[in-house]
Each structure stands twice: as structure tokens, then as C-alpha cells.
Structure 1
Amino acid sequence: MSFALLFSGQGTQHPAMLPWLADDPLVRRTCAQLGVDDWRRALADPNWAERNDNAQTLLTGLALAAWGQLAPMVPSPAAVAGYSVGELAAFSAAGVIDPATTAALAPRRAEAMDRCAARAPGGLLAVSGLAEQKLEQLRVEAGLELAIRNGNASVVLGGPIAALDDAERMAQAAGAQCTRLRVNVASHTPWMREAAESFSLALAEVPFRAPQVVLFSNAGDRIRDAKSARAALAAQIAQTVRWDECMENISARQVRCVLEVGPGQALARMWNQRYPAIPARACDDFRSADAIAAWLNSHAEP
């Protein structure tokens, strides 16, 4: 079997996510980090769920736990990537950082980003349905930066709140589809440069290893050694996530299916729209780990 493993970003977290996830030591450690007894009950409070520090810590810990519970049941993936904060879990799944260290890094990443946001409040706006040239014109006129590129006509713009408000009005007037993401920082833009530098210092204290499986970064490049892994994980905080290139690189590995680990089905949906001949499913689609493993195994080589 040849499959790719994708780790979701934040913004679609919800109390019913990962319905099959067992309450293992990593889940309990994540709850202790957050000071909550029940993470599902905590997510039911939108104010709690949308806080950057809560979301990044919770989603990283749960993604690590989910893959830890699935990994013994399936072969190693042929390729791994993570979307935004999902890169933390992806790098761990690829063997670059151990799970416990990765879980401890998530709140430090969020803290660095929140410090930037406190000085320059911002956010993210998903825009689709406009030609690439129109999207770029909108970005420039609104004074925003390109945070995430999912495709030529599907992007996420980031920047100050007032600029996002202007961009949303302009985009809707032009007939675009807009969604304000449930984040309160201008992730993956120059407004997060200090956060990237701060997180780089935190990563310098952490032992890194070369990936044990093929690993792609949000910069669209393959990570081949510990040094480039450390640099990429910090830099992506303030640089554009080139997810379209990430998907192209994974497709080139000729995988037979794709599994998204995390909340929602956003990455699986994007993949299926782009590569309909290669099926993608999300962990949120299943009621048990056994069912996920069975689906992956059903795409084994004959």
C-alpha cells in the first residue's frame, strides 16, 4: 500500500471531531497542558476553541495521539505533510521530533504568535472564485499578504483586521466566496516575522533528526535533513503556505490514497477536487480506528 498522510491546520476544530480517538496518555497530557478535564466540553465554548494558544496546543496533541493510535495498524506512509500548525504533527510523524517534545512546542509556537498579534491584531480571510489576477489586485488594494495558496483561484489572505474587513467587502462585491477563518493572528505573513524568529530560538534547543519517510514542508520543498527541518518549521510561521505545491509533490509520489488527520475534511476535499482519481478521506469520516485502517488497507497494492 502507498498512502499519504496529511495533518490539518486550525480553524475547523469542533467538539465531535475524531469521534474514535481513545483517551490515551498523550490526550490526557494535552488536557493537562490546557488545564481542562474534557477537551470536547472545552471545545463547545467558541471563545475557548478559537483562542490561538488553546487551538494550537489541542490540535497538535490530538493529531499526535490520533496517529499514535493508527500507526501500529497500517504501514508507514509514502509521504507526509502538514497544513499550517499541522506541520508540527507532520514532522513528528515523519520521525523528525519525538511526540512529547512536539506537544511541548505547540504552546511555545502559539505564544510567540500571540505576542506579535498583541502588538498588531490580525487574522485570515479565505477567498475563492476570482481569477488569479483579480485576487492579486484585491490583495494589493486591501493591503494584505498572501498567507496560504491552495490553488490559483483559492487563497487565504492575512493582515490587520481593518484591511481584512475591506478585502471581504471588495471580494464579495466582485462575486467571490469569502470566509473569515477562526483564528486571531495573521499567520504566515510578515506580521509574524518576530514570532518566527522567536520560535527558531526555541527549536534550537530541540534535538532534530532526518525524516524517516518522505516529508514536504509548507514552503513546497522536500525536507531531507535535520537542519532544513528546523529552519522550515520556524520560517513557515511568517511565510506563505504553498499548499498547492505540497499537493503536487505528494501526487508525484504516485500514492494510491490520502488520509487527513485532524478536524474536519478541508484537506481531503481539496485533494479530491484536484486529484479525483486518487481518493482522500478524513479521520473525521470514520467511527473507529479499525475502520480507518480497513479503508487504507483496501487500497493496498494487488
Structure 2
Amino acid sequence: MTNRIAILCSGQAGQHAGMFDLIREDEHASRLLQAWQLEELCAYPLHEILSSEQLLFSNPIAQPLVVAAQLAAWEIIRSLISRPVITAGYSIGELASWSVAGAIAPDKVIRLAAMRAQLLQACIAPGQPQLMLAISLSHAVTKMADIESLLHAHGFYIAIEVAEDAVISGGLLAHADALEKAVTAAGGKVTRLPIEIASHTPWMKAAVPAFEMAVQESGMSAPHFPVLAGISGARLHDKNAAATALSRQLAEPIRWQAVMDSVHEAGATMVIELGPGAALSKMLKTRYPHMQCRSISEFKALSGLKRWLQQAEE
């Protein structure tokens, strides 16, 4: 029986020095990486970026880099699997998911990713650096409204609803210590993420109109299969929905639980995460254990990935 496949596109934070190693084993994908002119967009040679953690996690570089890695991986596997029933992306990955669905050419979406990063970067006021925190809640903080009140008291907002007891939040670096103490005192746990921008929060409102216009003017077409909106989990079927969904998510929280539930409701039996990283496939496997969920980044060699895909499709 043929699997019903869903494709997931990762967000930032999973970058690593070897994130292109598997991709470069494929001659076609390797040529595409060169044709997409990543070095021009990122303003650094790729080998220099991959050898520097500072560059690798710099927002203007990370966003086009992550999208390029995903779309190169998609070029490798698209001919090896059945047509997906749905696709979704986490944060910047949502932009990549529209290209996976055939609505926009990879080179155009990579340039949109670079523009997106610059627009978000411009929302950071001089002398007021931002950051994102992963927060695990405690039994004492059982409602999302409780954590929202705690965050707002320190100038932070929910950026991503990861699970019933976990969120990603964004705000100013200057207020992070006080928030960490408050969350810890309430029995929760805080982890600082290598993302220096408060994405998906009101701090990014100024970027929304310009990015919406950029998506509208990008030549987006209707997707070949539905794309899930990060802000709601809704299935999107037409090009006009892309500009609204992709721009609103810059300053509104991602409802990732709703997205995972929509993947399940689409009847997906096999989920492939394009990476870098494997966080999305692990979260989905935890929520829906019956699904086959794997990330491309789990494989050490292209031959192993292809073997798994062929066996899964038999």
C-alpha cells in the first residue's frame, strides 16, 4: 500500500557544519546550490559560513541558508516518493514549503528568505538586541493564559506553541534574566536559543506590509497540494492565501500543535522532514506514534536515505 506522505520544512536552530554534506553527494543538487548564488545572498563564501558558528546562526545568513538546504534536499527525494498529500513548515520553513508544493521556484523563494531576514533584522532597535527562549512549563502553570501573563510582564510574547506544556517566546535580551528567574521560580525551565530575533511576536509588526507585498509580487502560483498555515493549521490551496499567511506569521504566533493535528487529519502515514535538524519529525512522532516520521538529517549517506525511501514506498 502506498504511503500518504507529508513533507515538513524545519525552522532555524538546526544548522551545523555538515548540513550540506548529504546534499553534495547528489550531482544535480550540488549544481543547484551553486546556481542559487547563496554566497552572493549571504555575503560570505559557503565554506566560511559553515566553519563559523557566529555566521551560521546569524539571522540574515541562516534564513536563506536553511531554505536552500531544504529545497536542495527536496530535489533529491521528490522523484523517489509518491506525490505528498500535504506540506508544512516551521517558521522560515513555511516559506520553503510553498516551493516544495510547486507554487514558486526555489531560486525565488531563497531570495524571498533573504529579504524576509533583512526585514526582520530592521525591526531590531539600536542597542536593544532580541532573542528567543524555549520555555517548558510546570504543573503550577497549567494554562497558556498563565504563561502569557508571565511573559507579557517581562515584555515577551509567545512566538510558537510547541506543546501543551512548552512554548517558544521572543523579546528583548535585556529582560531575559528577569523572565528566566520568574519562570524558574514557577517551576518551569528556560533554554536560550541561538536566534537573535523575536520572530512571530509583535516586535516584528513593521516587517509585515513589505513582506506581504513582496510575496504578492513574486509570481506565486497555486500549490500542487495543500500547504498548512503556521498561524492556524488551516489548509491553503491558492496563491492568494500565501501572501497573507506568510506575512502574518512574522508577527503572530505559530500554532504548531494545530499544524501537527492537520498533518494527521490529512491522513499522512509517512512524514519526511527536510532538515537541517530532526525536531519536527520527533515532535510529530511523539504526538502521533503510529506515523513513520524521519528527518533527512538522520542519514549519514545518501544511499541510506534512498534505501529507506524505496523500502517505505514498496
Regarding TM over 0.5, the answer is yes
Report if the CA contact (8 A) 1:192-1:238 is conserved: yes
Q: Secondary structure at the match of 1:117?
A: coil
Provide the aligned length of Structure 1 versus Structure 2: 300
Report if the CA contact (8 A) 2:135-2:168 is conserved: yes
Shift of 1:288: 3.0
What's the TM-score, normalizing by structure 1? 0.93
| 2-structure distance, mates of 1:132, 1:97 | 41
Q: Which amino acid aligns with 1:216?
A: L
| 2-structure distance, mates of 1:43, 1:192 | 28
Answering whether residue 201 of structure 2 is matched by residue 194 of structure 1, we say: no
| 2-structure distance, mates of 1:93, 1:290 | 22
Unpaired runs of at least 5, structure 2: none
| 2-structure distance, mates of 1:293, 1:187 | 35
Shift of 1:164: 2.6
Shift of 1:18: 4.7
Q: 1:231 aligns with which of 238, 241, 244?
A: 244
| 2-structure distance, mates of 1:27, 1:83 | 22
Shift of 1:215: 1.2
Answering whether residue 291 of structure 2 is matched by residue 286 of structure 1, we say: no
Report if the CA contact (8 A) 1:257-1:296 is conserved: no
Report if the CA contact (8 A) 1:69-1:289 is conserved: no
Q: Which amino acid aligns with 2:38?
A: T
Unpaired runs of at least 5, structure 1: none
Q: Corresponding residue for 1:275?
A: 288
Shift of 1:99: 0.9
| 2-structure distance, mates of 1:160, 1:216 | 29
Identity of aligned residues (%): 33
Q: Which amino acid aligns with 2:151?
A: R
Q: Corresponding residue for 2:279?
A: 266
Answering whether residue 129 of structure 2 is matched by residue 116 of structure 1, we say: no
Answering whether residue 154 of structure 2 is matched by residue 161 of structure 1, we say: no
Q: Secondary structure at the match of 2:271?
A: strand
Q: Secondary structure at the match of 1:127?
A: strand
Q: 2:77 aligns with which of 46, 70, 88?
A: 70
Q: Corresponding residue for 1:26?
A: 32
| 2-structure distance, mates of 1:223, 1:261 | 20
Answering whether residue 221 of structure 2 is matched by residue 204 of structure 1, we say: no
Q: Corresponding residue for 2:135?
A: 127
* Structure 1 range deviating more: 103-112 or 280-289: 280-289
Report if the CA contact (8 A) 1:124-1:180 is conserved: yes
- 1:98-113 maps to which residues of 2 (within 5 A)? 98-113=105-120
Q: Which amino acid aligns with 2:130?
A: G
Q: Secondary structure at the match of 2:158?
A: strand
Q: How big is each residue's C-alpha offset from its partner over 1:200-251, in whole Å with a ceiling of 9 and x where there is no partner?
A: 1222321111111121010121111111112111111111101110000001
Q: Corresponding residue for 1:242?
A: 255
| 1-structure distance, mates of 2:245, 2:147 | 27
Q: Secondary structure at the match of 1:13?
A: coil
Answering whether residue 25 of structure 2 is matched by residue 12 of structure 1, we say: no
| 2-structure distance, mates of 1:268, 1:177 | 23
Q: Corresponding residue for 2:234?
A: 221
Report if the CA contact (8 A) 1:126-1:180 is conserved: yes
Q: 2:4 aligns with which of 2, 5, 8?
A: 2
| 1-structure distance, mates of 2:74, 2:18 | 18
| RMSD, aligned CA | 1.8
Q: Corresponding residue for 1:38?
A: 46
| 1-structure distance, mates of 2:16, 2:197 | 19
Report if the CA contact (8 A) 2:134-2:192 is conserved: yes
| 1-structure distance, mates of 2:67, 2:282 | 21
Report if the CA contact (8 A) 1:18-1:283 is conserved: no
| 2-structure distance, mates of 1:193, 1:93 | 27
Answering whether residue 309 of structure 2 is matched by residue 296 of structure 1, we say: yes
Q: 1:93 aligns with which of 89, 97, 100?
A: 100
| 2-structure distance, mates of 1:14, 1:2 | 30
| 2-structure distance, mates of 1:274, 1:32 | 40
Q: Secondary structure at the match of 1:123?
A: strand
